[in-house]
Chain A
């Protein structure tokens, strides 16, 4: 069975600090997708990134970066120079590559950026 664990329930930092959100997953599949979604106070989940298990290259997008390590089954997300607008609940998720690609979500990490 697939499982995603986000051990950090809540994180609070001061604006401009860097912050890393941890994600550890379990799957028996040899190929899979990993995702990060952001849920701002408005409630709608916003897609941030999808990573194919074939590709272990780290990715950077502006202040956001993702570190995928297959050897430790981790897909961590770092925000550099955090801003108040980054405050949200962040979800890591895993899906199969075939079929409907059902998502298995972690518990979520509530990130609060204080001014």
Chain B
């Protein structure tokens, strides 16, 4: 079974802090994604990565950066957390084969005070 894990289920940070959200997948997938989920807005793509050290902006990249130094790990970074970044963050991965769907992690609920 594909397993996508995220470092924390719940996280509370203060405004201005640097925040790292970690995602690890164990199926050697090339593509990895970070989404945020907000009520009434569904999931929106922040960043994605085609492969190691490759990254592209999604629909809402402002205030975020990412890092992919190893194939299995994709990190989302909030350089200076703000209250409007309070949200549920979901990581996903997929194999490059066209017929594969994205597999999601359990999510990290981040609260910025």
Footprint of B on A, CB under 8 Å?
4, 6, 9, 35, 37, 42-45, 47, 50, 91, 93, 97-98, 100-108
Contact = CB atoms under 8 A, between A and B. Distances in A.
B43 A100 contact: no
A102 B45 contact: yes
Given A97-B98, A100-B50, A102-B58, A108 B42 contact: yes
Given A47-B101, A100-B31, A102-B33, A91 B107 contact: no
Given A4-B42, A45-B104, 13 more contacts: A6-B42, A42-B106, A43-B9, A43-B88, A44-B104, A44-B107, A91-B42, A91-B43, A100-B48, A100-B50, A103-B43, A105-B35, A106-B42
B47 to A, nearest CB: 10
Interface string B67-101: 00000000000000000000010101010001001
A81 B101 CA distance: 27
Interface of B: 9, 31, 33, 35, 40-45, 48, 50, 56, 58, 88, 90, 92, 94, 98, 101-107
Q: Which 7 A-B pairs have the closest CB atoms?
A: A105-B42, A45-B104, A105-B43, A43-B107, A107-B42, A44-B106, A47-B101
A27 B43 CA distance: 18
- Interface of chain B, main secondary structure: strand
A101 B101 CA distance: 9
Most chain A Cβ neighbours within 10 Å, of B42, B56, B107: B42
A97 B43 CA distance: 19
29 contacts: A4-B42, A6-B42, A42-B106, A43-B107, A44-B104, A44-B107, A45-B90, A45-B92, A47-B102, A50-B101, A93-B43, A98-B98, A100-B31, A100-B33, A100-B50, A100-B56, A101-B31, A101-B94, A101-B102, A102-B33, A102-B58, A103-B35, A103-B43, A103-B45, A103-B102, A104-B45, A107-B41, A107-B42, A108-B42
A108 B44 CA distance: 12
Nearest to B32: A100
A44 B105 contact: yes
